[in-house]
Amino acid sequence: MSVGELLAATVPMARTLSLAFDETTAERAVVRLPDQADYHNHVGGPHAGAMFTLAESASGAIVLAAFGDQLSRAVPLAVKAEIGYRKLAMGEVTATATLGRPAADVVAELDAGERPEFPVNVAITRADGAVTGEMTIVWTLRPNS
């Protein structure tokens, strides 16, 4: 089972929003939010909360893909997030997440007994390719006690 299939099956919000995990690798995660009237805002596009969840879900997918082999000794947790809405989003939107630091550097900090933090950068685009939002989520790998 891929990371995307796992998240789609086990994360209630991903199922609620019908998120589609198109790509989930340690290099990037691509997740789509279909156009659904139930999640529209006052101008007919996806609600800001739905786009936040889309971007956060893409960040979680890349974190699990990149650090899933560390789960026996650490739990990934989102520390903080910042989102900027840039252009009007209409129709289906896609979030593409990338790690802001090399995974090997993060694991080296964990190996050294530290609690590493690392950013995940997410671009949210509409079908015409225009960037409608950008989000940075800072994650940590909290060592198990």
Q: Would you state the pLDDT for residue 4?
A: 87
> Is the whole-model pTM more than 0.85?
yes
Pairing of strands 74-85, 20-24: unpaired
* Token code pair at residue 61: 């997918």
Q: Give the mean model confidence (pLDDT) for residues 87-114.
A: 96
Q: What's the domain range around 86?
A: 3-143
Mean pLDDT of 20-27: 96
Domain of 99: which CATH number? 3.10.129.10
Please report the pLDDT score of residue 68 as a whole number: 95
Tokens of 106: 């993060």
Three-state secondary structure call for residue 78: strand
Q: Are 131 and 86 in contact (CB under 8 A)?
A: yes
* H/E segment holding residue 29: strand 29-33
Predicted confidence band of residue 93 (pLDDT cuts 50, 70, 90):
very high
Task: Provide the β-strand partners of residue 98.
Answer: 121
Phi, psi of 2 (to 5 degrees): -75, 165
Please report how many Cα atoms fall inside a 13 Å half-sphere around the Cα of residue 31, on the Cβ side: 33
Q: What is the number of domains present in the chain?
A: 1
**Residue 8 in this model has a pLDDT that exceeds 90:** no
Q: Report how many helices (DSSP H) and strands (DSSP E) the chain contains, helices first.
A: 4, 6
pLDDT value, residue 2 = 87
Tens digit of each residue's pLDDT (9 = 90 or more) over 25-48: 999 999 999 999 999 999 999 999
